[in-house]
Amino acid sequence: MPLKARRLKTPDWWYKREAKGAPLTRYALAPLAWIWEAVTITRFLTAKPYRSPVCVISVGNATLGGSGKTPIERELLRRLKKLGHRASGLSRGYGGSLSGPVRVDPTLHSAAEVGDEALMLARDYDMVIARDRAEGLRLIEGEGFEIAIADDAHQNVKIAKDIHLLVVDGDTTNDGWPFGDGSVFPMGPMREPLAIALKRADIVVLWLPHEKSVVDQKLLRLFGDLPVFVARLIPMPVGEPGKVVGFAGIAKPWKFRATLEGLGYAVADFHAYADHEPLSEADLTALERQAQTRGASLITTEKDWIKLSPAWREKIAFLPITARFDDQAGFMGALTALMPGTQISQN
């Protein structure tokens, strides 16, 4: 009983090492890819970014979605808060109706207003959303913060960044490759050519599933002399894994299913939706009925769970994901070396 998505889902062939899928579609999309790349380059050449007195750390990627930025941002905010620094996240509030700037209050705001990722992080940390990132930074300045963690800002030309963290999906199993064949959207997943994205990067954060111990050396060589730090995405299941019907509206929903199965969940069925896609009451009711028919419970990602009403949150479980760096001290030390004026403890 698949439920149809109303938004376009990520093509499977985007993330293959070679251009193996949908050749006719790819050729037809080539002119649009050239236009996208030209517009992106022009935006950077003509930009006049706002320079904030606050230290701005960009957490971004070179691809469209699915790079694991949110767990990395959460870990960075956690670490900075633990060390006594006043840090706030800064998000566009994708998928939300409010243009901002506004400081997110999880007791007042909904995902429909401020976006799912911003609301999720605001449960534990300070968050500001603003379509105009410069206005968001001004609000952060006025609130007395010393550090801003700018979400998805690697290609944002409105604000100047002090540190660029480029987050990369390091899972290359099953012929997967984080940059596909290198094609720019819509031919492939790239927001811009990788070489250009790497020129602005200061640090590469390569995330891996918790069970994967070996880093692909071919992938590492792409980053040249840039410092690379490995972060593990660690699922934190509550209780014993059981029989479930899973669903996810993220860029790479198949990875959520693989995580569930790897943890020992018996996945009776799974529904993949487009990234950030909201589900209607009818969708959720259909999922609930299917789970009841299968003798299973419902489970989703935290990002999808945060979009649910309080009543549905009571009925549906989510799988928490946390990020931890293999070399925490080294990563914090690299940040300290790049940070103007603000010293961060390496512990």
Cβ neighbours around 128 below 10 Å, total: 27
Q: Is 333 annotated as a binding residue?
A: no
Q: Of residues 8 and 12, which shows the higher confidence score?
A: 12
Q: Specify whether 66 is located in the same domain as 163.
A: yes
Q: Specify whether 261 is located in the same domain as 227.
A: no
Give 10's pLDDT tier (boundaries 50, 70, 90): low
| pLDDT tens-digit map of 67-89 | 788 999 999 999 999 989 999 99
Residue pair 260/313 in contact (Cβ under 8 Å)? The answer is: no
Question: What's the rounded mean pLDDT across residues 12-27?
Answer: 66
Question: What's the rounded mean pLDDT across residues 180-202?
Answer: 88
Count of structural domains, the chain: 2
Residue 25 lies in a domain: no
Quote the percentage of the chain above a pLDDT of 70.
90
User: What letter would DSSP give residue 22?
Assistant: -
Q: Is 70 annotated as a binding residue?
A: yes
Q: Specify whether 247 is located in the same domain as 218.
A: no
pLDDT at residue 4 in the model: 46
Q: Is 64 annotated as a binding residue?
A: yes
The position carrying tokens 């603003």 is 130
Q: Specify whether 286 is located in the same domain as 307.
A: yes
Residue 197 lies in a domain: yes
User: Side by side, which strands form the sheet with 87-91?
Assistant: 102-103, 127-129, 87-91, 147-151, 55-60, 163-169, 203-209, 228-235, 321-325
Residue 205 lies in a domain: yes
Residue 254 lies in a domain: yes
The residue range of the domain holding 292 is: 243-319
Residue 257 lies in a domain: yes
Q: Specify whether 85 is located in the same domain as 130.
A: yes
Q: Name 59's bridge partners.
A: 151, 165
| pLDDT tens-digit map of 275-298 | 778 888 999 999 999 999 999 999
| pLDDT tens-digit map of 36-56 | 888 888 888 788 999 999 999
Residue 347 lies in a domain: no
- In angstroms, the first-to-last Cα distance of the chain is 50
Give 1's pLDDT tier (boundaries 50, 70, 90): very low
pTM over 0.85: yes
Q: Specify whether 224 is located in the same domain as 329.
A: yes
Q: Specify whether 65 is located in the same domain as 114.
A: yes
Residue 24 lies in a domain: no
Give 9's pLDDT tier (boundaries 50, 70, 90): low
Question: What's the rounded mean pLDDT across residues 246-271?
Answer: 91
Three-class SS state of 60: strand
Q: Is 66 annotated as a binding residue?
A: yes
**pLDDT of residue 66 exceeding 90:** no
Q: Is 307 annotated as a binding residue?
A: no
Residue 271 makes CB contacts below 8 A (sequence gap 6+) with 2, 3, 245, 246, 247, 248, 287
Residue 285 lies in a domain: yes
Alpha helices in 123-165 (DSSP H): 133-142
Nearest CA to 152 out of 120, 191, 189, 188 is that of 191
The position carrying tokens 């790239």 is 190
pLDDT at residue 3 in the model: 47
Can you give the CATH number for the domain in which 185 is found?
3.40.50.300
Q: Specify whether 255 is located in the same domain as 189.
A: no
Q: Is 212 annotated as a binding residue?
A: no
Q: Specify whether 146 is located in the same domain as 205.
A: yes
User: What letter would DSSP give residue 3?
Assistant: P
Q: Specify whether 68 is located in the same domain as 174.
A: yes
Residue pair 129/104 in contact (Cβ under 8 Å)? The answer is: yes
Can you give the CATH number for the domain in which 285 is found?
3.40.50
| pLDDT tens-digit map of 294-329 | 999 999 999 999 999 999 999 999 999 999 999 999
pLDDT at residue 180 in the model: 83
Q: Specify whether 102 is located in the same domain as 221.
A: yes
Q: Is 68 annotated as a binding residue?
A: yes
Q: Specify whether 334 is located in the same domain as 304.
A: no
